[in-house]
Amino acid sequence: MKVRNSGALILLIGLIIGIVLISGCSGIGGHNNNTTPPADAGNNNTAENTANVQVSVIDKTTGDPIENAIVYLGTGGYRKCYSNSEGKCSIEGFVWGDYSLGVFKKGYYRYEESRHFEKGDNFVTVKLEKKTKIPTSFTVEGTVIKIITAKGTRSENQYYKIKTNDGTEEYLFDEIGMNRGFERFVNKKVRITGFKEIGFIGWQHEQVEGIYVESIEVSQP
C-alpha cells in the first residue's frame, strides 16, 4: 500500500508525541507529584508527632516511691507500665494530645484524670493516698459466665462474672479494674485468687464492686 503525503503524516505523529510528553510533565493523565500522598499518609504516629511520658508514683503522706503501681494511658485501648523500686515507669511513642491517665495500686485510692501531653518528653508526679483498710486476697471457685444486655442495639453491654459454687455472682475485673479479658474462661470451672474493689462495667464505665483477679486457673474444662 502506498502512503501519500508522508511529510504531513510525519508532522502529525510529531504533534501527537509532543502532546503526550507535555501531558506527562504537567500531570495531566499521569501522576501529579504535588498530590501524591507520602508513604506514611494516614499514620500520625511518626517521630514528629509522638509523645513520651514518665510517671513518678509516690505516697501522698510519706513521699516514698510506690513500687508495682499500674500506670495506664487511654489510647483507644490502654497502654500501661509498672512502677519500679523508684516509683517510676514510662509509656512512649503515642501521638501527642489529650488522654486519660490513671494510676492504680492495691491499698491506695485510684488516681485518674484527663491530661494534655506535648510532643517529646512529659514528666508527671502522682501522689497516691493510702486507704485505712487494705483489701485482703482470697480464693473462690465457680463458673465464669458472660451476660449480654440490650443485644444488637447501640446500648449493648457485655459483662463477665463468676458464679460461685454457692450460687452468688461477682463481677470480674482485670488489674486496672476493667470488666474484660475473660472470654476464654466462659463456661469453665475456675479457681480465682483476688480481692474486692470497685471497678468499671459497660461502655459508660459504671462503678460497681467486684473481684480484681490476681490469678485464675481452670479447674475443670
pLDDT in the model for residue 151: 86
pLDDT in the model for residue 155: 82
At 44, the pLDDT band (50, 70, 90 cuts) reads low
Residue 13 has pLDDT above 70, yes or no: no
pLDDT in the model for residue 45: 58
The pLDDT > 70 percentage for the chain reads: 78
pLDDT in the model for residue 217: 96
Residue 155 CA, chain-centre distance (Å), reads 21
At 186, the pLDDT band (50, 70, 90 cuts) reads very high
User: Is the model's pTM score more than 0.85?
Assistant: no
Instruction: Tell me the pLDDT tens digit for each residue of 51-98.
Output: 999 999 999 999 999 999 999 998 778 899 999 999 999 999 999 999
Give all domains of the chain, ordered by start, each with its CATH number.
50-128 (2.60.40.10), 138-220 (2.40.50)
Report the mean per-residue pLDDT for the chain: 83
At 150, the pLDDT band (50, 70, 90 cuts) reads confident
